[in-house]
Amino acid sequence: MLFKEGVNPKDLEQLKPAAWILLCNAILYCEEMGLDLIITSLISDRKKLTSESTTHEDGRAFDISTWRWSPVQVQRFLYKFNADYSDIGAISSSDGKPKAAVYHNFKNLGEHLHLQVKPNAKWHRFITRS
């Protein structure tokens, strides 16, 4: 896991538990698939940005780069994360449906996946004890 310049790793301390579920599983997925995982946005790096929501500022979202991913790799990630984590995913502004991962290609932010969770997401079922 890498961080884009300007992203403060200390911001990870402010992530909500459900966002950690997504982050840990994104790390595992990318490792398994041989994909680079570069966090491009967390919280404090967003001070100069205007956004439709406060998911980042609330510690409920983070962005990862898809710069070196193929379109098929992006689609597979979206499919898996939205199938596996839709019950904790935040409501998407594009269609009003819960989504854990959304693809964006903004001029100022580049291609990335926005991973997001709803407030008070019930994340406990994703933790198992052995």
Spatial separation of the C-alpha atoms in residues 48 and 124, rounded to whole Å = 34
Segments making up each domain of the chain, as ranges: 2-123
- Spans of the chain, pLDDT less than 70: 45-52, 106-109
According to CATH, what is the number of the domain 2-123?
Answer: 3.30.1380
Provide the pLDDT for residue 92. 87
Strands (E), the chain: 2-3, 38-41, 61-65, 90-91, 98-99, 101-106, 110-116
Provide the pLDDT for residue 128. 82
Provide the pLDDT for residue 87. 95
Provide the pLDDT for residue 124. 93
Provide the pLDDT for residue 50. 58
Classify the phi-psi angles of 30: left when phi > 0, otherwise alpha if psi is within -120 to 50, otherwise beta.
alpha
Provide the pLDDT for residue 46. 64
Provide the pLDDT for residue 91. 93
The CA R_g of the chain, rounded to the nearest whole Å, is: 14
